Structure 1
Amino acid sequence: MFKNRIDAALQLTERLMKYKNEKGVVLAIPKGGVPIGYIVSKALNMPMGLVMSKKIGHPVNKEFAIGSVGLHGVIINGDAQVTEEYLKKEIKSIRNQLKENYKKFLGGKRPVKLKNKMVIIVDDGAATGSTLLTTIKEVSKMDPKKIIAAIPVGSEDALARIKSSVDELVYLDSPKSFYSVSGSYKEFEQVTEEQVQKWLNKTKDENQLVHLK
């Protein structure tokens, strides 16, 4: 069990040090992946960017992911069992939110090209893997040299789905009795937009923030 996201990030960094000073980019998935992305990018001496993706929650339980939405792509789990009307409404709403957050967090900074670069995608964990898979799908279109997914914890099913979609998967733990990502953390407070902005400002001050679109 991890103390918090900072503890998880420090442990994850140890597994990624072989990539220090490589020509690459660390992409964090807001909001929970941002503090982890900052620590990993700083340790590896790589710039950090954001990649916008968010889960689609089940109408009965919003914490249960039935798919995910990116700025340009969507993944729906095969057993979602919800109406087409619900999906269309959620996809539109989530995508509008992602666009607003993207503008808010990154403003008018020029995009970075991922072609022929190593890309390390980080988040605080994966329950179903949908959010990471949407992110991987979008990043793949940009012709990177290599895609690495790095997360502290994930369910066995999520890890299997992610592993088949990337060049390398780095993770620290996969409990047999997996209930939620938060169950692997002693402290797992919701990361606020203000906290995301704080991490991004630190990255910007160190000239390590890049813009992905």
Structure 2
Amino acid sequence: MAEKLKTLHLSNLCLLAVPRGGVVVAAPIAVTLDTVINLLVTRKIGHPANEEVAIGAVMPDGSAIFDQRTISNIGITDDKMEGMIKQGYSEIVRRQLHYIGSTAIPDMNGKEALIVDDGIATGYTIRAAIQWLKTLNPSKIIVAVPIAPPDVVANLSQEVDKFICLVQPDPFSAVGAYYKDFSETKDQEVMQLLQMK
């Protein structure tokens, strides 16, 4: 993926990794493109019956996007949803402070924003990242992931300038099914990769 991105000849790049797994994927890209890794922390809102299934996502500023139809169907009240959003935002702030010691965001004005994650399932966290980034006035938004379902790629491609996805299995099962090792990335590993030059 790093070699594919190199052919885009990005000259005013801001590499934004979605932690934790996105930082691992972004590390060789940062080396190849001779840049540093910045963080873009969004937080999935999981379905009450299965936390792995996203029904929405919280953005770095505490706002959120969510599937209103699903929320109505499963009977999540406004108060409950508000609590889930607050909880997600608290985790975003915790990760920012823990990983980089600050909640400050890089200046994106006129930059080529490259969002990297370890894969996409429903697309909520990346969609939240894209929506939030658009408020920061980048010149381009590019998404690069190793794995995602083809329908999600098709939908998200319409929201960005370039979408790179190496593997688009149909039927799609889960992101982790396409990795030899999809063990949880630890905070310490993220911090080590962020300090990489």
TM-score w.r.t. length of structure 2: 0.91
| 1:57 aligned residue | 46
Query: 2:82, 2:105 → 1: CA distance?
Result: 29
Give, in angstroms, the shift of residue 57 of structure 1: 0.7
- Hey, which bits of structure 1, 4+ residues long, moved more than 6 A? none
Query: Given the alignment, which residue of 107, 112, 115 partners 1:113?
Result: 107
Query: 2:141, 2:88 → 1: CA distance?
Result: 25
| 1:76 aligned residue | 66
1:187 counterpart = 2:176: no
In the superposition, relative to structure 1, how do residues 198 and 43 fare at CA in structure 2: closer, same or farther (>3 Å)? same
Give, in angstroms, the shift of residue 47 of structure 1: 2.5
| 1:4 aligned residue | none
Query: Given the alignment, which residue of 134, 155, 171 partners 2:128?
Result: 134
Please tell me the residue identity of whatever aligns with 2:15.
Answer: V
In the superposition, relative to structure 1, how do residues 108 and 64 fare at CA in structure 2: closer, same or farther (>3 Å)? closer
Kindly indicate whether the alpha-carbon contact (under 8 Å) linking 1:53 and 1:131 is maintained by their aligned counterparts in 2.
Answer: yes
Kindly indicate whether the alpha-carbon contact (under 8 Å) linking 1:24 and 1:120 is maintained by their aligned counterparts in 2.
Answer: yes
| 1:5 aligned residue | none
In the superposition, relative to structure 1, how do residues 99 and 167 fare at CA in structure 2: closer, same or farther (>3 Å)? same
Helix, strand or coil for the counterpart of 2:195? helix
| 1:124 aligned residue | 118
Instruction: Provide structure 1 residue ranges, at least 5 long, that are not aligned to the other structure.
Output: 1-11, 207-213
1:23 counterpart = 2:12: yes
Kindly indicate whether the alpha-carbon contact (under 8 Å) linking 1:26 and 1:48 is maintained by their aligned counterparts in 2.
Answer: yes
Query: 1:79, 1:38 → 2: CA distance?
Result: 37
Instruction: Provide structure 2 residue ranges, at least 5 long, that are not aligned to the other structure.
Output: none
1:152 counterpart = 2:141: no
Query: Given the alignment, which residue of 28, 47, 51 partners 1:39?
Result: 28
Q: Percent identity?
A: 29
Kindly indicate whether the alpha-carbon contact (under 8 Å) linking 2:59 and 2:132 is maintained by their aligned counterparts in 1.
Answer: yes
Give, in angstroms, the shift of residue 137 of structure 1: 0.9
Helix, strand or coil for the counterpart of 1:62? strand
Please tell me the residue identity of whatever aligns with 1:183.
Answer: A
In the superposition, relative to structure 1, how do residues 66 and 110 fare at CA in structure 2: closer, same or farther (>3 Å)? closer
Helix, strand or coil for the counterpart of 1:19? coil
Give, in angstroms, the shift of residue 112 of structure 1: 2.7
Query: 1:48, 1:56 → 2: CA distance?
Result: 25
Query: 1:109, 1:19 → 2: CA distance?
Result: 30
In the superposition, relative to structure 1, how do residues 119 and 79 fare at CA in structure 2: closer, same or farther (>3 Å)? same
Kindly indicate whether the alpha-carbon contact (under 8 Å) linking 1:77 and 1:130 is maintained by their aligned counterparts in 2.
Answer: no
Kindly indicate whether the alpha-carbon contact (under 8 Å) linking 2:18 and 2:116 is maintained by their aligned counterparts in 1.
Answer: yes
In the superposition, relative to structure 1, how do residues 30 and 71 fare at CA in structure 2: closer, same or farther (>3 Å)? same
Please tell me the residue identity of whatever aligns with 2:150.
Answer: E
What root-mean-square deviation, in Å, do the aligned CA atoms of Structure 1 and Structure 2 show?
1.6
Larger mean CA deviation between 148-157 and 85-94 belongs to 85-94
Kindly indicate whether the alpha-carbon contact (under 8 Å) linking 1:21 and 1:46 is maintained by their aligned counterparts in 2.
Answer: no
